[in-house]
Chain A
């Protein structure tokens, strides 16, 4: 079983739509969780950290469910510029390195 699993998509949504991505992780000892964004042929860039209580940054909301070992990302009022691949990232265990999901591709259509 992969350490981090994501639905690769693609998700094609109209501008203004709300879209949600989920990610599951296998190691219950994991403590750090992030969402990264990667544009085509570019490096991954941090979108947001994911906290136990859930957190919001503008149109983006991240949630963590430790009991079910999944993380979600909600994007409201999608913009064309949101088109990218969204990578779920989980640390192997506290203090150790990070595992990436395969990424979920999002295209926002005018």
Chain B
């Protein structure tokens, strides 16, 4: 399967714990995006990378959130000191170039209890 893959698919964690998600984009895609989606809402932009450079971060991304793409390939999204409000689907997407369509992974569903 050469699509975008995300790991894990589901994560249940206790409030206050740290979690890390991984995204492997389509191999030739140099743009990688992170979005968050809650029930009944469209995906909300969190951050994006062009190769290893993080070009923009949303105001939604508090200082508890950090994302990296160290070698311009896979990316990680870490949430420190999780809160119940962090419960959501975290979606990763990649695109070949700017302004071209993005392809999504199946997402990581986070539940903070």
Contact = CB atoms under 8 A, between A and B. Distances in A.
Contacts of B106: 42-43
A99 B33 CA distance: 11
B41 interface: yes
B99 interface: yes
B33 A98 contact: yes
Given A31-B99, A43-B91, A94-B98, A99 B104 contact: no
Contacts of A66: none
A97 B33 contact: yes
- Chain B contact residues: helix, strand, loop or mixed: loop
A102 B33 CA distance: 18
Contact of B40 (A44, A94, A102): A102
A97 B99 contact: no
Interface residues of A, number: 24
Interface residues of B, number: 22
Contacts, number: 51
A43 B51 CA distance: 23
A110 interface: no
B99 A32 contact: yes
Interface stretch (B11-19, B42-50, B75-83): B42-50
26 contacts: A6-B42, A31-B99, A32-B99, A34-B101, A42-B106, A43-B91, A43-B104, A43-B105, A43-B107, A44-B91, A45-B104, A46-B101, A87-B43, A94-B98, A95-B98, A95-B99, A96-B56, A97-B45, A97-B48, A97-B55, A98-B45, A100-B35, A100-B43, A101-B42, A102-B41, A103-B42
Complex A-B, nearest 6 residue pairs according to Cβ-Cβ distance, in ascending order: A100-B42, A43-B104, A95-B98, A32-B99, A102-B42, A97-B48
Given A6-B42, A98-B33, 5 more contacts: A43-B91, A43-B106, A46-B101, A87-B42, A87-B43
